């Protein structure tokens, strides 16, 4: 990792190596003040926070977004699609930028990075945590998680992504935004299409490999979170139903603030910014 990056490489941090090529994460770093790291959801990129970044900058925060490996402008290696690696990637970005007293904000899969980061590295250096429509605590049906999702559901999603990921993403975004209810009201056809365009630019390997990470067990990670935490979730989320995710996560994190967005789909950050942004700014301040 160069300490004096060139103009071209200034927005990248090297987190690993695959054969002859470095594994680089693309990031953007704007503003001044307390640092907030925004961690995107599947299958998007850091650019998906476009409705939150201006609000956070206006509130006096330094805002860092980045693209998870396999997505956006980051490298697309053939491996490393697990939460320990995702968490290590985030750690390398934090260290590269010399960030202190960070606020970690994760949407969907990004909620997993928030949980695993504190679970693995502890809360030293973390000021606050936010999980929006997050994948924790544990989605898989098991003997100690009877109301979880059967594994064959995830296997079916993997099979669909392998067979035709372009069609798979089309169906995925219908439930990402509840388009049968919200299209033309809280999300436009063009916004959905733009998301699809970003999604198909992601790694085909990552598209499939990330699906099994959704049922990572974060329960021990959540138990280690001892900083102020905000959990927000839409009560109409069809990707990660609130009863299996947000509601349980809020109970497992001591003292967590829990906000339910009425009629909110999975991506409440886009469809309900008038609720999400004030809650986010108020909590982070």
Within 10 A of 244 (CB to CB), how many other CB atoms are there?
18
**Could you tell me the CA-to-CA distances from 222 to 57, 92, 157, 234 in Å, in that order?**
28, 21, 26, 20
If you search the block for the tokens 């054969």, which residue do you land on?
19
Residue 37 CB contacts under 8 Å (≥ 6 apart), including other chains: 64, 65, 66, 90, 93, 94, 99, 102, 103, 104, 105
Report the alpha-carbon distance of residue 258 to residue 236 in Å, rounded. 16
Report the alpha-carbon distance of residue 144 to residue 258 in Å, rounded. 24
Reading phi first (left if > 0) and then psi (alpha if -120 to 50, else beta), residue 32 is in: beta
DSSP 214: G
Report the alpha-carbon distance of residue 158 to residue 174 in Å, rounded. 17
215-230: buried (b, 16+ CB within 10 Å) or exposed (e) per residue?
bbebbebbeebeebbb
The residues that are catalytic are: 108, 237, 266
Residue 31 CB contacts under 8 Å (≥ 6 apart), including other chains: 56, 57, 60, 61, 62, 63
Q: Parallel, antiparallel, or unpaired for β 21-30 and 62-66? A: antiparallel
């Amino acid at each position: 990792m160069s300490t004096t990056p060139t103009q071209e490489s200034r927005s990248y941090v090297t987190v690993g190596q695959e054969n002859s090529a470095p594994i680089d994460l693309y990031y953007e770093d704007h503003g001044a003040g307390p640092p907030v790291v925004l961690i995107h959801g599947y299958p998007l990129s850091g650019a998906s926070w476009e409705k939150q970044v201006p609000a956070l900058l206006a509130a006096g925060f330094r805002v860092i977004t980045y693209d998870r490996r396999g997505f956006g402008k980051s490298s697309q290696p053939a491996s490393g699609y697990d939460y320990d690696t995702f968490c290590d990637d985030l750690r390398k970005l934090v260290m590269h930028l010399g960030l202190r007293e960070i606020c970690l904000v994760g949407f969907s899969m990004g909620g997993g990075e928030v949980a695993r980061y504190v679970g693995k590295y502890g809360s030293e250096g973390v000021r606050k945590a936010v999980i929006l429509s997050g994948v924790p605590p544990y989605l898989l049906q098991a003997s100690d998680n009877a109301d979880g999702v059967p594994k064959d559901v995830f296997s079916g999603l993997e099979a669909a992504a392998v067979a035709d990921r372009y069609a798979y993403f089309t169906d995925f975004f219908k439930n990402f935004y509840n388009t049968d209810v919200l299209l033309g009201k809280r999300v436009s056809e063009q916004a959905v299409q733009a998301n699809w365009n970003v999604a198909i630019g992601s790694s085909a390997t990552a598209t499939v490999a990330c699906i099994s990470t959704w049922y990572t067990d974060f329960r021990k990670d959540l138990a280690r979170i001892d900083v102020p935490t905000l959990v927000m979730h839409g009560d109409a989320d069809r990707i990660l139903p609130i009863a299996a995710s947000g509601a349980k996560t809020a109970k497992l994190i001591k003292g967590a603030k829990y906000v339910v967005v009425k009629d909110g789909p999975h991506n409440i950050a886009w469809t309900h910014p008038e609720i999400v942004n004030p809650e986010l700014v108020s909590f982070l301040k």
